[in-house]
Amino acid sequence: MPSLPNTYPPSSQNQLLGGKSQQQQQLLASGKTTQFPQFLFNAGFCQNGKAIGVTQLRRVAAVPVAKRVAEECNVELGLKVGYAIRFDDFTSSSTRIKYMTDGLLEALLDPLLSRYGVILVNEAHKRTVHTDVLLGILKKVRHTQSQSILKGPFKRGNTNIDMSDEVNGQRPNTLFTLKACQNTKLLPLKLIIMSASLDAKGFSEYFGGAKIVYVQGRQYPVDILYTYQPEQDYLDATLITIFQLIAIIHLEEGPRDILAFLAGQEEIESIEKLIHGHLDKLPEDRRKVITVPIYPSLTSEQQMNALKPAPSGFRKVTMTSVTIPGIKYVVDPGLVKARSYNPVTGMESLIIIPTSKAQAQQRSDSTIPEVKRCNLANVVLQLKTLGIDDIIGFDFMEKPSRMAIMKSLEQLFLLWALTDDYKLSDPIGHQMARLPLDPIYSKAPILANEFKCLEEMLIVVSMLLIESIFYFPCVRMEEARVARNSFSTPDGDHVTLVNSKMVMSKDKTIEKNLKKWCIENFINSRSLRHARDIHSQIQGHVQQMGLSVSSCGNDMLQFRRCLTAAFFINAAMRQPDGMGSFLQLKMQLQIHPSSVLFRSKPECIIFNELVRTNHNYVWNLTGINPLWWLPDYVSS
DNA sequence: GAGCACTGC
């Protein structure tokens, strides 16, 4: 182990990567998001009543950006400038600049996007699933349009921002209907793909050699210092760098906080111990350092406390796995934990990988697009809804593996969302596609409607979609366990979630002192808000679909049968040496210690989470009677 | 006997 610096100035041998914060990056990006659409509008791209569509990755970005542009244009929001995000459409027939989240597949309503003259795809380099699907659809729209335009009386547009042309020799589009545009007067849709320059070539090639325009961004002065080579023990290297920085900033005026990016709670707790271990060896006057851990499972109050300034004379070292604004020194070992999905086993695991920034700078390739590393069931369902049946033949910018596509088709088929010939089923497939959930969760309320336990299922689905509402601080673990046990039942985790339903129903006696009640019961109030939000959204949807939110009362046997029918894909039987699963999974599973069924020995279970960390752990599980699993039994 | 962090439809 290299020795820690005790003298000024410290050696620069072990400086790790320091970078600009996400907030700064957003500032850099804001000009093109707010100004560019206005330039296009002023240049006449909204003639003939056409609109400019601008995609955003996040709901929270779409709304304020639209507000700001409306202000700049001196118009009321919702008129010339508007936004559309799921559950919230703030546009009108006069809207000409429309901000929207990229997952909003407008093509559902209008396969040729004929209302739009220009579509700006923002932050395409992030390569979210939605971006990739959107690009594929836009390419298809362009192709379909060009086919009809070539036949029609209109010439192609030839302005200097035309960034897309069709690939020569592409086979004719047979999937998108041409009916909508036959005999109509169409000008070609302009596509502008905004991306970090490293990836521009890939997008250009995908759109048949589209023109690339480079825009110089305004840079914040950020010094980036690297280690000479990758560190074997990155925790140790991080520790050394933190103490080097403490030594440097001792001489400086102004803010003295240090932020260390770490991959997760475990690493944060380790480094905190290491820091204190080292501080104990230093002379009294150099021990004025406070350490502040921040990770997602802390409550928001604890996270807010962590952001308070350090006492005068103290240096503060914040160790985090989440982004925090206003920090001057950043130590970033460049590693994150990421979910990875194995389509063969259906297994997700948490792996530590280099951050995309480090990847992008060290090699010429960029991050693996999300579409190549996630469960595609939802993507396939959405594409089927758009009438795109040939998923294997869909022109993704980067194709997911055939195995991954087949696996999602199989899953959708098992959920009865697809018919025997892999077409969207009616009504189940169509109903499932209307719910903004992964297919396994969108099927659950539909089944629960038949089992007359939709009220219970809505609570469970909302709770399964969020981080747990039960909060377990290390120091008061036993008290927290007692609090959770007041809801728990030997039926399993799902029924335990149902038992906590009073927090969802906004019980008046609890609501009055909600904050106090949450603290006393070790409930994370932020998670609770999140769950309530999702609950009311899904409830609104299923009611619109005509399902009745009825309750099975105390009949938890009935509810467990329904859970079995909904989540039968994830079932496992107890083996002599632990939990071994059947169906497509052939691996040893263990019940996660956070489950109420940890230590109990159910014969047969269904579960919602399977993640490989130290073991293959399942959680959110319910013990079932294997007979319920049989198809005849489930459907009767 | 243990929990990566972000989104979106």
Mind listing the pLDDT tens digit for each residue in A145-162? 777 655 544 333 332 223
CA A322 to C1' B5, whole Å: 7
Query: Residue at minimal CA–C1' distance from B7?
Result: A58
SS3 letters across A361-418 = HHCCCCCCCHHHCCCCHHHHHHHHHCCCCCCCCCCCCCCCCHHHHHHHHHHHHHCCCE
- Residue A484 dihedral angles phi and psi, to the nearest 5°: -65, -40
The domains located in chain A, with CATH, are 22-206 (3.40.50.300), 234-331 (3.40.50.300), 435-636 (no CATH)
Query: If we measure between CA atoms, which residue out of A502, A476, A477 comes closest to residue A487?
Result: A502
Cα separation, A361 vs A526, in Å, equals: 36
Helices A59-72 and A22-42, interaxial angle, to 10°? Answer: 50
Q: Which nucleotide is nearest to A295 (CA to C1')?
A: B5
Q: Check residue A293 and give its pLDDT.
A: 84
Footprint on protein of nucleic strand B, Cβ below 7 A: A 57-60, 85-86, 101, 103-105, 129-130, 263-266, 295-297, 321-323, 337-339, 350, 378, 382, 436-438, 465, 472, 474, 477, 481, 592-594, 598, 611, 613-614, 617
Query: If we measure between CA atoms, which residue out of A152, A128, A155 comes closest to residue A58?
Result: A128
Give the model's confidence band at A610: pLDDT under 50 very low, under 70 low, under 90 confident, else very high.
confident
β-partners of residue A197 are none
Query: If we measure between CA atoms, which residue out of A85, A432, A69 comes closest to residue A77?
Result: A69
What single-letter amino acid sits at A614?
A: N
Q: Which nucleotide is nearest to A472 (CA to C1')?
A: B3
Cα separation, A87 vs A106, in Å, equals: 14
Cα separation, A418 vs A428, in Å, equals: 8
Instruction: Check whether A576 has a pLDDT greater than 90.
Output: no
| Mean pLDDT over the full length of chain A | 77
Q: Which residue has the higher pLDDT, A120 or A22?
A: A120
Instruction: Check whether A20 has a pLDDT greater than 60.
Output: no
- Segment A321-378, tens digit of pLDDT: 766 655 677 777 777 776 677 776 666 666 677 665 544 443 335 567 888 878 889 8
- Segment A72-105, tens digit of pLDDT: 999 999 999 999 877 678 889 899 999 988 766 5
Q: A422 by DSSP, 3-state: which?
A: coil
CA A352 to C1' B4, whole Å: 9
Burial class of residue A95, CB neighbours in 10 A (0-12, 13-18, 19+): buried
Asked whether the beta carbons of A101 and A56 are under 8 A apart, the reply is yes
Q: Check residue A350 and give its pLDDT.
A: 65
